[in-house]
Every structure is written in structure tokens, then in C-alpha cells.
Amino acid sequence: MFLFRRGSDRVTPAQARQNTIDGDAVLLDVREQVEWNAGHVPGAVHIPLSRLVTGAALPSAAEGRPLVVICRSGHRSQQAAKLLAGRGAEAVDVKGGMTAWASAGLPVVDERGSSGRIA
């Protein structure tokens, strides 16, 4: 069972991985398409923040589930987590984003499933 601590709106990459691999949360990547194509977390769900801001619905795989939101550095994911919480979702963001994720040695793949890079 996935539980966010009260008052906690940010998680480390290791906590994000644990909660999305071992828990029931979904890792939601809010970077733009070109960034996603260059490198993303295997199994993550994608929707750019620019689409969320205009009212786009979450991808079906993320609906009704706790969300761990990630971007490149953590700025856009913080915005997205707040926006999604305002819509009633349970959402936190990854402190340091994909840059911190990759620095922690966690997996990143490109659009073809090969080793990816953070753009």
C-alpha cells in the first residue's frame, strides 16, 4: 500500500522508485515529448505539463492512483503536483527530477528502450 507522509510533497528518487515499483503509485513524467524521447524511467507514464495546464486529462494508467511526478530538475514536477492535488489527486514530486534520478544510478531508457540520456 502506498502512503504519502502528511505534509510531504517531495520524495527522493529512491523513494519514488520504491513507491512506484513496490507500491501502487504511478511515476508521471511531465516533460515535453523531445525530453521524454531522449530518456525516461522505464514504466513511467507521460503527459507534458503544458497539456495538464490546459486541462488535459491524465493518461488512463494514472487515473485514480497516487502519483509521483517527475521532470528534468524538479521545478515543473512541483507545479504539476500542486495542480494535480488541486484536482483531487494524491501527488508528490521527485526532488531533483530526472537529473537526480540518473545521478542515483537508476535506469533511464530512450524511446527505443535503449540506454537513454537526460535532455
Reported as a single tens digit per residue, the pLDDT across 24-74 is 899 999 999 999 999 999 999 999 999 999 999 999 999 999 999 999 999
- Residue 26, number of CB atoms within 10 A of its CB: 23
Q: Across the chain, what does the average pLDDT equal?
A: 93
* Of residues 58, 105, 115, the one with CA closest to residue 85: 58
Catalytic machinery residues: 71
Residue pair 40/116 in contact (Cβ under 8 Å)? The answer is yes
Q: Which amino acid appears at position 76 of this protein?
A: R
